[in-house]
Amino acid sequence: MYLVKTPRIIQSLNAPVYWRFPAKEKTLYLTFDDGPHPTITRDVLALLKKYNARATFFCVGKNAREHPQVIKQMQNEGHQPGNHCYRHESGFQTPSYFYYKSFLKARNYVDSRLFRPPYGRIKPKQAQALSKKTHIIMWDILSGDFDQNLDAHKCARRVIQSAQAGSIIVFHDSAKAAPRMLPALEAVLKHFSKQGFIFKAINPNEINQIKKK
Ligand SMILES: [Zn+2]
C-alpha cells in the first residue's frame, strides 16, 4: 500500500530534502526514475517536446553507462539528468559505505547535482552525508505507474486530482511502467497545459536560492 501524497510525518529526515517547491506561478516538476531506456525514454522525450515541457530524469548509473546517447539527447532538449544510484540500491538495506560508493559510481555516468534515493529509502545519516554533495529530491505526488493493478486512466487521475503548483511528480521511464506511464503522461500534460501550467526541469541553481532564504 502506498499513498498518492506523502504524509508530512515522513517528510522529515533532518537534512535538506525537497518534497515540493514553493511556487508563485503555475509550475509543475515532472520526474522520471529508473531510466534511461533506449526506446521508452525517447518516447517520453517526444511527448515532452509535443507539449513544450521540461523534466528531470533520475537515471540508474548502470543504465546511463549503457545508453549515454539518451542522456545526451535529454540534455540537448533542455531536461535535467539526476543520479539514482548505480544499481538502484535501497539505502535501508545497503551499508552506508556501499551506498555512498554507488552514488559516486553513478556520478561517473550521470553528471548532476540532483539525487533521488531509490524507493525514497534513505537513512537520516545517509541523507545528511549526501546532502553536502548533492540536492536530495523526493516527491509529493506518485503516479503509481509501477502498479500493475492500476490502469493508465487511474494513474493520470491520481496526478490530476492531487498535483498543485510546485508539485514534484514521479513517473518511471522503465519497461514495466511504460504501458501505463506513456498514456497517463500524455493525459497529465494535456490537462495541465490547458490549465496554463508550465512544466519545468529542476534547476540545481534555483535550489541554492531557496536554501539561502
Ligand atoms: Zn527508482
Rounded distance from Cα 87 to ligand 1 centre (Å)? 10
Rounded distance from Cα 177 to ligand 1 centre (Å)? 11
Rounded distance from Cα 213 to ligand 1 centre (Å)? 30
Rounded distance from Cα 151 to ligand 1 centre (Å)? 20
Statement: residue 10 has pLDDT above 70? no
- Cα–Cα nearest to 158, from 177, 175, 145, 173: 145
Grid coordinates of 8: 508530512
Rounded distance from Cα 118 to ligand 1 centre (Å)? 4
Rounded distance from Cα 193 to ligand 1 centre (Å)? 26
Question: What are the Cα distances from residue 207, in Å, to 28, 92, 98, 135, 201?
Answer: 15, 26, 27, 8, 12
Question: What are the Cα distances from residue 167, in Å, to 84, 137, 145, 176, 213?
Answer: 20, 12, 17, 24, 19
Rounded distance from Cα 23 to ligand 1 centre (Å)? 26
Statement: residue 76 has pLDDT above 80? yes
Rounded distance from Cα 165 to ligand 1 centre (Å)? 24
DSSP secondary-structure letter at 36? -
Grid coordinates of 173: 521511464
What CATH number was assigned to the domain covering residues 8-212?
Answer: 3.20.20.370
Does this model's pTM top 0.85? yes
Alpha-carbon distance of 92 to 30, in angstroms, equals 25
Query: What is the structure's pLDDT at 159?
Result: 98
Q: Which residue has the higher pLDDT, 23 or 199?
A: 199
Query: What is the structure's pLDDT at 213?
Result: 43
The band of 210, judged by pLDDT with boundaries at 50, 70 and 90, is confident
Rounded distance from Cα 33 to ligand 1 centre (Å)? 5
Grid coordinates of 9: 510525518
Rounded distance from Cα 115 to ligand 1 centre (Å)? 11
Statement: residue 22 has pLDDT above 60? yes
Least-confidence region, from 5-19, 45-59, 105-119 = 5-19
